[in-house]
Structure 1
Amino acid sequence: MRSSGDFRATTREGVRGKAQSLMIHLRSPDRADIADWDSALVGFVVPKTVGNAVQRNRVRRQLRHLMRERLNNLDPGSALVIRVYPGAAGRPSDELAEDLDSALAKAKRRLR
């Protein structure tokens, strides 16, 4: 996901799932303008409050790697925005994975 319009639409129209270190905004394929895509689109919001550029990029890379494993669990054409909280910079990958799974499960429940 690259355009600010996609991010804005997903955060406004999508359902939320919150965990300790991040929040998920999930928009279903029938509401998304990208319903003809073969897979889900994922975007990341990592604000400067998370840390310096090195810390922000490290968190983004960790989450990108974790999402590659979970993309098959999302419907094709859905849109997902992951908003990271400041406490995420010092967390290990396994804790980020637990938070990601928890937030995704909450968002999927609300989507139904």
Structure 2
Amino acid sequence: MLPEPHRLHRSADFTRAVRQGRRMGRHDLVVHAYARDDASCVGVGEPRFGLIVSKAVGPAVTRHRVARRLRHICSEILLEVPETCDVVIRALPGSANLSSKDLQRQVRSGLKKLGYLGAVRDARS
């Protein structure tokens, strides 16, 4: 499960990450990343993740399975993403047929090419 401070909730945050951030397309998903620098932005100091899994991915059971896998991947890479980064992952229809390992490889690849996947930070208490 992805901890509450690390989730994107507001539509404006999703829109900002998708429209103003950088984008890297992979075969079965698109990774959008936006570096927050505004001190008035809620949640500054914590990387935040959002998921977009549309009906094109498949029926509800399939969409929820893909979303669970992506949330788990986000929680694993949490300490490797910069603290002021908003990441939105858009699942494409092919993501329904991938294993968790393949999804993780594509997420990591997209973030790495964008320059948002770096060294592991110290865990905060």
Matched, 1:40 2:54: no
Structure 2 length as normaliser, TM-score?
0.80
> What is the aligned partner in structure 2 of residue 10 from structure 1?
17
2:115 matches 1:108: yes
Q: TM-score, normalised by structure 1?
A: 0.89
Q: Residue 115 of structure 2: SS of its match in structure 1?
A: helix
Say if 2:59 is the partner of 1:58. no
Partner of residue 87, structure 1: 94
Aligned match of 2:3: none
| Partners of 1:35 and 1:77 within 8 A in 2 | no
SS at match of 1:20: coil
Sequence identity percentage = 34
- Measure the CA separation in 2 of the matches of 1:45 and 1:32: 26
Q: Tell which has more relative contact order, 1 or 2 (C-alpha 8 A, sep 6+).
A: 1
Deviation of 1:31 (Å): 5.7
Aligned residues: 109
- The structure with more helix, counted as a fraction of residues: 1
- The equivalent residue for 2:81 is 74
Q: Is the 8 A contact 2:24 2:32 kept in 1?
A: yes
CA drift of 1:11 comes to 0.5
